[in-house]
Amino acid sequence: LNREEVLDLVESLEHRIKKSKYHPDLIVGVSSGGDYPARELSKRFNVYLTNIKGNHYNLKLAGIEFDEIVGAYKIAKTFGHKPKIELIKDVELTEIKGKKILIIDDDSYSGKTLEVVKESIEKKSPLEIKTGVLNTYEKNSLVDFAGKLLPKRDFYDLKLRFPWSKMSSHYAKWSKKES
C-alpha cells in the first residue's frame, strides 16, 4: 500500500467510528504499525495520543522479522508457534483512568496484540475501550472498527504491506517523509 491508500483506510476507519457516535478521550497507538493511523485519527478527532509497544513473535530469519514475511501467521502456526506479545512500553494509569479509550493498530491477524493491549489498559480503570484497525477479516470479535473488512480467507492470503513495513516497496519513500 502507498500513503494515499493508507489515508483512504484511515478515512474509512474515521467514518465508521464517527457513524457509531463513539468519541474517544484518548487514542492509544500500538507501536509500530498503529503509530501512523493513530496519529492521523488523533488529529481528526482532536484528542490526545499516546502509544503502547509490544514485541511480537521474536522470530527472525536472515535478519528479517518473521512477522514481516507474507503469510507469517500461517507459517508460525505450522511450526507450532503461537502469537506471543510482551509489552515493552505500557501506558500510564493517569492517562487511562476514567477515560474513553480507542486502541488503534494497522491490522489484526491472530488478535493477540489487541488482546494483550486491551487487557493491560483494562487494569487501569478506563471508562470504555474500543479497538480499531485499518483492515482485518469479517467477524473479528476483537475489533470494534475497521477501515476495511475482508473475508477471512482473503485477508490471510492477502497480507497487505503497509508502507512502514520494511518489506513494502514504498518503505524507502515512506521512511524519508516520516523522518
pLDDT tens, 32-44?
A: 789 999 999 999 9
d(CA 179, CA 176): 6
pTM: 0.82
Identify the DSSP state of 108: -
Query: Does 155 have pLDDT greater than 90?
Result: no
Query: Does 58 have pLDDT greater than 60?
Result: no
Residue 23: helix, strand or coil by DSSP?
A: coil
**Cell reading at 27:** 487514542
Report, as an integer, the average pLDDT of 50-79: 62
pLDDT digits (tens, 9 = 90+) for 96-105: 899 999 999 9
CA distances for 159 relative to 73, 82, 107, 154, angstroms: 10, 18, 9, 9
Q: What residues contact 97, with CB distance under 8 A and at least 6 apart?
A: 124, 125, 126
In percent, how much of the chain has pLDDT > 70? 78
pLDDT band at 9 (very low <50, low <70, confident <90, very high): very high
